Structure 1
Amino acid sequence: MKLTFYGGAGTVTGSKILLEVNYTKILIDCGLFQGLKDLRLKNWEPLPLDLNELDLVLLTHAHLDHSGYLPILIKNGYRGKIYCTSATRDLTKIILLDSAKIQEEDARRAAKYNYSKHTKPVPLYTVSDVKKTLEHFKIIESNKWLKINDEIELKLLNSGHILGSVFVILKINGEILVFSGDIGRKNPILLPKYEYVDKADYLVIESTYGNRLHKKTSINNKLLECIEQTYAKGGVLMIPTFSVERAQEIIYLLSILKRENKLPNIPIYLDSPMGVNATEVYFSHKNNHKLTSEDIKSMIDTVQLISDVRASKTVVSDNNPKIIMAGSGMITGGRILHYLDKYIEHKKNSILIVGFQAEGTRGKALLSGDSELKFFGKYYKIKAEVFKINAFSGHADQSELIDWLQHFKSPPKLTFINHGEPHQSQALKTKIRTTLNWNCTVAKMNKTYTLV
């Protein structure tokens, strides 16, 4: 058996892990690189893999850094199945279609305003490519063993990260391999907590927050504080929002504040076609989250959902106080840019960051205290106040990662630490060695590891 990390090693984007078992080749996740330009350029590089020899793709969850390369895989010749849960399939469809539309729009805008070095800018993939990709999805149930072939069995367990997210467990000739994907919080806002795994011979674990402990703060109080401070100035509160999970969490918390009569009387919008569609998917998968029918009704009554472009333009042009949630969460594109275009250079307005911001993203630039932000081919002065709520994270912190690991009955032969910036992965490696005395290593990009 061999493992090769084609992404998500030394970084938190582009997750791709190739597992080779004799002549069987399985790709665990197939993500897009985001953030720094050097990483984004990797999306244009062909995988050093003969796609005719790839037998199967396993998807841990729908996020773009785990699913976004799939249309390229199909476009370049992969003809096999993509296994995942039902909720992951439904969310991945929304995410990939949105990604393709944004890339098409960016290419058109770059051509129109001539700010690309390419004579004819082209998208990585198109909506048509995504539709072809969706034909390859195969839904499998969680908590049940599935025989892949004579050597390999597969089981998925809830990881508590986003709707439909799972740990991948493979039983291969008596050896057990576990791939964590992204691990959620011990007490998620909307989801059941992650399930524990009791055995692994080889383990691959994420380390997004391998060096950090999330602050124990009241998210509701902090959210209300940001709203009240902005409202007192007569401004607009802009929340760059991850359309899957984060948008639904914020809507839920706002609905609680509204039920408690704590919110000022201002309109609240989710201006994101993907966010609107993801919210509808959320409501349709009632067995995968903790929301009651009353919760769902309250959420629907709290926020105005906007998909139509004309309605979006109307909301952008309205200068009255309001709360806006719009994609994308790291401000790499999407409708949030149109709000920033109008409101970022005015002190009365605010921007609330509610999730992890990868290196090289505009969201990271805001948190770093940059004085300017570039988009639409020009620079904008950052005069709006910038808030941050860390407690929204959908990733386990160091203590929660250790909690999950402590439930293994015996140490794996080897634990691979991936999906983290170098200092985060190294910190988790040190913590695992000192706390659990396990044999572990930090995975390196494009390196092949022989297991047995």
Structure 2
Amino acid sequence: MVSAILEEIKKTIVHGLPPRVQVAKVEFEGPEVVIYTKNPEIITENGDLIRDLAKDIRKRIIIRSDRSVLSEPEKAIAKIHEIVPEEAKITNISFDEVTCEVIIEARKPGLVIGKYGSTSREIVKKIGWAPKILRTPPISSEIIQRIRRTLRHNSKERKKILQELGNRIHQGIKYENDWTRLTSMGGFREVGRSCLFLQTPNSRVLLDCGVNVAGGDEKSSYPFLNVPEFVLDDLDAVIISHAHLDHSGFLPYLYHYGYEGPVYCTTPTRDLMTLLQLDHIDIAHREDEPLPFNVKHVKKSVKHTITLDYGEVTDIAPDIRLTLHNSGHILGSAMSHMHIGDGQHNMVYTGDFKYERSRLLETAVTKFPRIETLVMESTYGGHEDVQPSRNTAEKELMKTIYHTLRRGGKILIPVFAVGRAQELMIVLEEYMRNGLIEDVPIYIDGMIWEANAIHTARPEYLSKDLRDQIFHMGRNPFISEVFHKVNGLDERKSIVEGEPSIILSTSGMLTGGNSVEYFKWLCGDERNSLVFVGYQAEGSLGRRIQKGWKEIPLKEEGKTKVFHVNMGIKTIEGFSGHSDRRQLMDYVRRLSPKPEKILICHGDNYKTLDLASSLYRSYKIETKTPMNLETVRIQ
């Protein structure tokens, strides 16, 4: 069946190309059709030709050179340096002989691409190798280097993975698409361990696979992967909406237990979730609570990950097309639009989203081709969950910092390494640069620095204002001199014993990491302040402190010690990467087209019910609030 489909596609391609184009072979690689040719420059010089072909065959197309026309690597490197202007600041050139690509890493990748792709086309013309152009981060990123190294060293294995996947995706539809079902396997009527199982007569897809980091045991921490309808060998794909552990933290477990299929997400999500998963493993080992997977399973998931840009339509199963759209939550976070069958059903899974522009990101997308079913989060879905404006939140933070510094104290802000930390850094840098808060050291601890590096490597995912600030004004807040990276225990102790300062440290809920250590050191001094700027899950240390606990039992050198909380405790709403109640309601109001059915997830029990009833009353759209382990037929 697959060979017949491929042969038909090849005929269409050959017929659609100019006669002088020599097509060596056509292959499936995952969701893409790859054309190998002896004169790729003819095709690359005519972008409309490829776009028209892709429309005809309704597939994504990649052009690669046949091996016979590739230049020797040494000559190719010399020619690249001759073609690409020196201002591009190329930092590395390597070759992938499996895919016939030359990987060019540069500080200014736009100059390697050239106006309308002119420079990259010239590279193909002169050396044959197809350029894959990557940005060199302004801050060195160990994670990005590791991922690029893993993909480069496992290129042959990855090509085999993609070819097998291509055969599976393009095998054709066996059964009529007359039903679609969703099973809630985690993250319904709760926050944490998000996991949703989509089934059609032809396909099985998992949407997110997270952990509840505040869970007390395996039963409350991990998704319900033991439901009878979920069979790992039958799974066609996993889609990860964004990198936070409650959406991606259990993904390596699937590979530990034999999953060999693909993961779909944006490039920043791949990079950030790898960072967070590795840190999760590290913290678990340090606390002597090993996880049911290890580093090699994270590496395996990287090899199987297919990254997509926003708006890119991709086949992920015989009867499902996926398009990712910006959700405004964290860097690379995405809403998943699923086109099922030949248009029989269209579903959007929002993941976590923010329906408001922030300093860091653009607002969530509201326009889709079609939607019959919407699955949306409700973290702040209760009628009382109305947050102050971002401007009000910033002023409240500055006021807290001002009063704490005045009394000679230190400000500890536990933050999520991804999203909240970067948002706060932008705010603090601007206020300090303009002299609106005292010029004191701002210490950055935990994974935040590495997350910053990933943000600087992917500026195309940042807000327009921030991109303009970085590219046109030459001011990158993430590399400002006001920030100091913390290196090791000795430096932490000197910070705690030193002058007044601001400390941003992970984890954001005080569930582990260095923020807990800072809390132990600082909590007894009434001059200091602990400022919460993000959601504190039930069961977390952060939530207990918010509730007013003044005596906190924590482990210290293997023994349990009680810590007395004398420091000031402040919760500042308004910095959240989640939509508040008004924004959630407004999002559905502005959604185009309107869905026929809405399923509510990712919220405490009463918040999901409250939001669902309000949406029904306001918009007369059928709403459901499934419980975990419930299956709902949506078509």
1:151 matched to 2:319? The reply is yes
Question: Structure 2: how far apart are the matches of 1:71 and 1:149?
Answer: 21
Conserved 8 A contact 1:101-1:126: no
Provide the TM-score with structure 1 as the length reference. 0.92
Shift of residue 313 of structure 1? 3.2
1:222 matched to 2:396? The reply is yes
1:348-427 alignment to 2 at 5 Å? 348-376=527-555, 377-427=560-610
Question: Structure 1: how far apart are the matches of 2:220 and 2:486?
Answer: 30
AA paired with 1:221?
K
Shift of residue 282 of structure 1? 0.8
- Helix, strand or coil for the counterpart of 2:543? helix
- Helix, strand or coil for the counterpart of 1:269? strand
- Helix, strand or coil for the counterpart of 1:37? coil
Question: Structure 1: how far apart are the matches of 2:360 and 2:231?
Answer: 40
Shift of residue 249 of structure 1? 0.8
Shift of residue 358 of structure 1? 0.6
Shift of residue 317 of structure 1? 4.5
Question: Structure 2: how far apart are the matches of 1:221 and 1:191?
Answer: 20
Q: Deviations over 1:246-305 (max 9, x none)?
A: 111111101111121122232110111x11111111111111112122575344225434
Question: Structure 2: how far apart are the matches of 1:289 and 1:126?
Answer: 32
Shift of residue 148 of structure 1? 2.4
Which residue does 2:242 correspond to in 1? Answer: 61
Shift of residue 181 of structure 1? 0.4
Which residue does 2:371 correspond to in 1? Answer: 200
Conserved 8 A contact 1:237-1:350: yes
Which residue does 1:169 correspond to in 2? Answer: 337
AA paired with 1:419?
H
Which residue does 1:104 correspond to in 2? Answer: 285
- From the superposition, tell whether residues 71 and 430 of structure 1 become closer, same or farther in structure 2 (CA, over 3 Å): same
Question: Structure 1: how far apart are the matches of 2:403 and 2:275?
Answer: 34
Conserved 8 A contact 1:203-1:415: yes
Instruction: Kindly name which structure, 1 or 2, has the bigger radius of gyration based on alpha carbons.
Output: 2
Question: Structure 2: how far apart are the matches of 1:343 and 1:32?
Answer: 29
1:31 matched to 2:201? The reply is no
Which residue does 1:343 correspond to in 2? Answer: 522
Conserved 8 A contact 2:195-2:207: yes
- Helix, strand or coil for the counterpart of 1:280? helix
1:7-406 alignment to 2 at 5 Å? 7-37=186-216, 41-43=220-222, 47-48=226-227, 49-107=230-288, 121-173=289-341, 174=343, 175-198=345-368, 199-211=370-382, 212-216=385-389, 218-272=392-446, 274-290=447-463, 291=466, 292-293=469-470, 294=473, 296-306=475-485, 308-310=487-489, 312-376=491-555, 377-406=560-589
AA paired with 2:233?
N
- Helix, strand or coil for the counterpart of 2:388? coil
Question: Structure 1: how far apart are the matches of 2:524 and 2:553?
Answer: 12
Shift of residue 336 of structure 1? 0.8
Question: Structure 1: how far apart are the matches of 2:429 and 2:219?
Answer: 37
AA paired with 1:188?
S
- From the superposition, tell whether residues 346 and 295 of structure 1 become closer, same or farther in structure 2 (CA, over 3 Å): farther
Shift of residue 434 of structure 1? 1.2
Question: Structure 1: how far apart are the matches of 2:223 and 2:191?
Answer: 18
Conserved 8 A contact 2:536-2:543: yes
- From the superposition, tell whether residues 427 and 154 of structure 1 become closer, same or farther in structure 2 (CA, over 3 Å): same
Higher RCO structure, 1 or 2 (CA under 8 Å, sep 6+): 1
- Helix, strand or coil for the counterpart of 2:590? coil
Shift of residue 41 of structure 1? 4.1
Q: Which runs of 5 or more structure 2 residues have no equivalent in the other structure? A: 1-179
Which residue does 2:65 correspond to in 1? Answer: none
AA paired with 1:7?
G
Conserved 8 A contact 1:271-1:312: no
- From the superposition, tell whether residues 336 and 135 of structure 1 become closer, same or farther in structure 2 (CA, over 3 Å): same
AA paired with 1:159?
S
Which residue does 1:113 correspond to in 2? Answer: none
RMSD: 1.9
How many residue pairs align between the two structures? 438
Conserved 8 A contact 1:329-1:355: yes
- Helix, strand or coil for the counterpart of 2:222? helix
Conserved 8 A contact 2:186-2:223: no
- From the superposition, tell whether residues 375 and 67 of structure 1 become closer, same or farther in structure 2 (CA, over 3 Å): same
- Helix, strand or coil for the counterpart of 1:392? coil
Q: Deviations over 1:24-65 (max 9, x none)?
A: 110000111132425764439754332111110001111110
- From the superposition, tell whether residues 412 and 301 of structure 1 become closer, same or farther in structure 2 (CA, over 3 Å): closer
